[in-house]
Amino acid sequence: MTTEKDLINAVRDSLEADGKLGCIKAEMRSEVLKLLDHSSKSSKTNKCEMPSDVLLLNELIREYFDWIGYKYTLDVFMSECDCKKQSLDRSLVAQSLGIEDNEGTKKLPLLFCLTETFKKLKNT
């Protein structure tokens, strides 16, 4: 006779095998952080503005998480860094960082383009 514990273990094993358990845990963390962030926003005082370098770094990370499909990681990241919903203009970010962005690179996140730029600099 199957016990409740056996049933719980079978469900957990099945969810782990499908990779869904990790997604469920990440989604739960994301929702908890949103709740905590929402409740703490009322107690926040006026925050000083972030330096432009931090904004650029956050945008590179956000674009990468979105590109690679880390949906829940992206939600948590955006909540923690208090990013705006609207992303920065890609061409502006590329120009600010001196990254060459063309039709061939537009399919990749700028973080990849940045690493390619450093590789080229290293080889010259």
Q: What is the pLDDT of residues 50-97, one digit of tens each?
A: 788 888 899 999 999 999 998 888 888 887 887 777 788 888 888 888
Q: Name the band, by pLDDT with cuts 50, 70 and 90, for residue 38.
A: low
How far is CA 99 from its chain centroid? 21
Q: Name the band, by pLDDT with cuts 50, 70 and 90, for residue 43.
A: low
Assess contact for 113 and 101: CB atoms under 8 A.
yes
Block residue for tokens 């990779």: 19
Assess contact for 70 and 84: CB atoms under 8 A.
no
Q: Which of 123, 92, 93, 84 is nearest to 111 (CA)?
A: 93
User: Is the alpha carbon torsion for 76, 77, 79, 80 positive or negative?
Assistant: positive
Name the strand (E) or helix (H) holding 73. helix 71-81
Q: Which of 27, 103, 94, 21 is nearest to 60 (CA)?
A: 94
pTM, entire model: 0.64
